[in-house]
Structure 1
């Protein structure tokens, strides 16, 4: 099987599983005609069903279909042997009826047992397309094909998806209880000039609260003390020096010169008068 077709079949069976509840192993209900077609083309029917449905399968057949094979004579013994390997599905028919009618009665109106129908009967396939959630498999030129989803199945799938999106009854009741009461029509906003963008404006600096005067630091105290001292010095009037007693009597002042060292090393002090 090509990769593109396998991907399409996998996607289709995933849709059947999510929407209608199909699960593995898929119950495949085969009729007598597809068993005969598989033997003629030398196909491994169970293996091909697993490849097409992209999962494990559980082949089944009804008693009426097996009885239909017995009526065809001795040339269909390989087909009967293949049909006997499938699980027997009870159809509750006391007398054997045609295979198409038996399969149609087992499927019913809604296919509640979730059967995948494998058949070569064209009338049965057209009849099953009118029922939702019925995958149909048939063989065409020794190739097994899974038919696309019917229109009725697509409609049911779309309604199910729409129902999932809508709120449930309990959720709507909760929303109605928590919703505020309607207060008339909404007020229209008055159109007018728009102000500047607050993000582009410069932020205002917060006003500094008036606080108590700070205590003077040590440097300030020093400067204040120095200023006071200088002020006191400047303010003081320097009194003139008293006249020397020697000068007051008219005597000349004596100047003392530095002594000159004599030979003995003693210093001789000379006093001279001017």
Structure 2
């Protein structure tokens, strides 16, 4: 179960960090119910308990309205009040103290620009905050803490943002059209014709986009390259100095014939006779 819990928490953290820009160290905004739950279940120190869930260092925050509410609850919440005084007090613009749930919703705002994790045991407050994009929620069950998975509203909000990024806005479209006109401004007849068609179809964005496509195709016909073309690396020939020269077949055949001829031909050796006997016979006669 611990492995499943850790993997689920990891998925929710990646969702909020990737889609809403949460960064370390994480800020956790605690209300009185959550602080009281930590003290009753002896989950102290609170920063280490929350750091184990979020696998990072944590800064704990609260508000003046939360502290005032804990004062009003009496002696049963005195330990929670002492512990809450040790937390960092987040700024809330209330001259008179308001209920804790209202104060936290106003501090979070519409988009949670301060990137707060909200820790609360109040189910009604958590349901309200699930309808605000980019608000991760933490709650406790006995001696364990849990990070809620993103709600259906938050997932749909992220999907709509991704779809908007896929399409151009009106301002982006106008900037793109102006830049295309400046690039295509020249002395060619094709460019002048495309500018006339764009001016005619300025009211219709689809027709003007088609005109820009036509102008780009005409530009490519002229011979202007839109993208740099790189030469492909081809296999190089081997180093001629490291390779032996190939012998032709004719040279090989000639060398073989010479070897065979040398082996068949017999050497004629001349016998050198001594002429001493001949000279002695001549003298005796």
Shorter-chain TM-score above 0.5:
yes
Distance 1:71 1:164, change over 3 A: same
Give the direction of change, closer, same or farther, for the CA distance of 1:262–1:10 in structure 2 (3 Å limit): closer
Q: TM-score normalized by structure 1?
A: 0.61
Aligned equivalent of 1:180, options 213, 217, 228: 217
Q: Equivalent residue for 2:7?
A: 7
| 1:214 matched residue in structure 2 | none
Aligned equivalent of 1:231:
none
The answer on whether the counterparts of 1:132 and 1:150 sit within 8 Å (CA) in structure 2 is no
Task: Tell me the SS of whatever aligns to 1:157.
Answer: helix
- Aligned counterpart, 1:141: 142
User: CA offsets per residue over residues 4-28 of structure 1, 9 Å max, x none?
Assistant: 3212212221221111111111111
Q: Does 1:18 find its partner at 2:22? A: no
Q: Per the alignment, in what secondary structure is the counterpart of residue 36 of structure 2? A: helix
What do the CA deviations read for 1:19-38 (whole angstroms, capped 9, x no partner)?
A: 11111111111000111111
Question: Within 2, Cα distance between the matches of 1:37 and 1:263?
Answer: 150
* Counterpart in the other structure of 1:101: 102
Q: Taking structure 1 as reference, are residues 39 and 264 closer, same or farther at Cα in structure 2, changes over 3 Å only?
A: closer
| Cα deviation code 1:28-83 (max 9, x no counterpart) | 11000111111111112222211112211110000000001111112322111110
Q: Which residue of 2 aligns with 1:55?
A: 56
SS at match of 1:153: helix
| Structure 2 CA distance for aligned equivalents of residues 179 and 152 of structure 1 | 42
Please give the per-residue CA displacement for 1:96-115, whole angstroms capped at 9, x wherever unaligned: 11111111111111111111
CA distance in 2, matches of 1:119, 1:20: 21
User: How many correspondences in the alignment?
Assistant: 188
SS in 2 for 1:91: coil
Aligned to 2:209: none
For residue 43 of structure 1, what is the aligned residue in structure 2? Answer: 43
Matched residues in 2 for 1:12 and 1:80: separation? 31
TM-score (norm 2): 0.59
How many angstroms does 1:142 deviate by? Answer: 2.2
For the 8 Å contact 2:132–2:154, the answer to whether it is kept is yes
- Distance, in Å, in 1 between the alignment partners of 2:166 and 2:282 is 132
1:145-160 equivalence runs, <5 A: 145-160=146-161
> Partner of 1:202 in structure 2?
none
Q: Report the counterpart of residue 86 of structure 1 in structure 2.
A: 87
- Secondary structure of the residue that 1:180 maps to in structure 2? helix
SS of alignment partner, residue 59 of structure 1: strand
Contact kept in structure 2, 1:29 and 1:60, CA below 8 Å: yes
Partner of 2:30: 30
Q: What is the CA deviation profile of residues 78-129 of structure 1, one whole-angstrom value per residue up to 9, with x for unaligned ones?
A: 1111101110112111111111111111111111111110001111011011
CA contact (8 A) 2:70 2:77 kept: yes
Cα 1:181–1:127 shift into 2, 3 Å: same
- Mark the runs of 5 or more structure 1 residues left unpaired by the alignment: 183-260, 267-274
- Asked if structure 2 preserves the Cα contact closer than 8 Å seen for 1:110 and 1:131, the reply is yes
Bigger Rg, which one = 1
Report the more deviating stretch, 139-148 or 28-37.
139-148
CA distance in 1, matches of 2:65, 2:168: 47
Shift of 1:264: 7.4
Q: Going by fraction, where is helix more abundant, 1 or 2?
A: 2
